[in-house]
Amino acid sequence: MTIRSATTTAICQVFQARLKLSRSPMTPVTNSEITAYPSPMLVYDGTCGFCSRSVRFILRHERRHDLSFVTRNSELGKGLRRTHGLESVESMLWIEGGQVFAESGAVMKAAGYLGGWWRRLAVLGSFCPSFILNGVYKFIAKNRRRLSSKAAACLVPSPEQRKRFLA
């Protein structure tokens, strides 16, 4: 571990501790509450720099500002995966209206959520067979740490955005 990554890790841990203190404790969420949740949720790997940069990209380019974020290894993230029978799935998940999308399906939903040209790109991608899209997703997921050549950067949401990070 380099000094730079150790410092980044320490800063992230301090920020995450402060974020936990600034929130009221989470209450358990039932499956019916998840199904009834009005806005989409993105479950992502919070320890992955590539994934964190993807979340920052979404925050920078979104138009609706109603997407909620959940880290995959949080209690809520584990509960969501367990509820939907996806404990062994290490993919990003998009949960909306009681439906769960994994791998390239989650990416396509995220692109559609962004609107504009990203939505058009998602529509074009929908014409591609899912086994090809999922193959590309799996290749990127397998190599995401290498593709993320910079040191892992801590995601520091604005005060307005913090409310949307459920866990």
In a domain, 144, yes or no: yes
- pLDDT in the model for residue 15: 41
Taking 3-state DSSP, the helix, strand and coil percentages for the chain, each rounded to the nearest 5, stand at 55, 10, 35
- pLDDT in the model for residue 32: 53
Q: How many domains does the chain have?
A: 1
- pLDDT in the model for residue 152: 55
Spacing of C-alpha 122 from chain mean position: 17
What's the half-sphere exposure (Cβ side, CA atoms, 13 Å) at 107? 18
CA distances 67 to 37, 59, 64, 101, 136, Å, are: 11, 9, 8, 15, 25
What is the rounded distance in angstroms from the CA atom of residue 84 to the CA atom of residue 102? 11
Q: What predicted TM-score, i.e. pTM, was given to this entire model?
A: 0.75
In a domain, 33, yes or no: yes
- pLDDT in the model for residue 5: 41
In a domain, 122, yes or no: yes
In a domain, 167, yes or no: no
- pLDDT in the model for residue 14: 41
- pLDDT in the model for residue 75: 93
φ, ψ for residue 93, nearest 5 deg:
-125, 140
Determine whether 38 is exposed, middle or buried from the number of CB atoms within 10 Å of its CB (0-12, 13-18, 19+).
Answer: exposed
In a domain, 43, yes or no: yes
Q: β-strand 41-44 against 68-71: which pairing, if any? A: parallel
- pLDDT in the model for residue 18: 40
* Range(s) of the domain holding residue 54: 3-162
What is the rounded distance in angstroms from the CA atom of residue 155 to the CA atom of residue 35? 27
Residues with pLDDT less than 50, the chain: 1-29
In a domain, 75, yes or no: yes
- pLDDT in the model for residue 147: 74
pLDDT digits (tens, 9 = 90+) for 29-74: 455 555 556 689 999 998 888 888 899 999 999 999 999 999 999 9
- pLDDT in the model for residue 150: 60
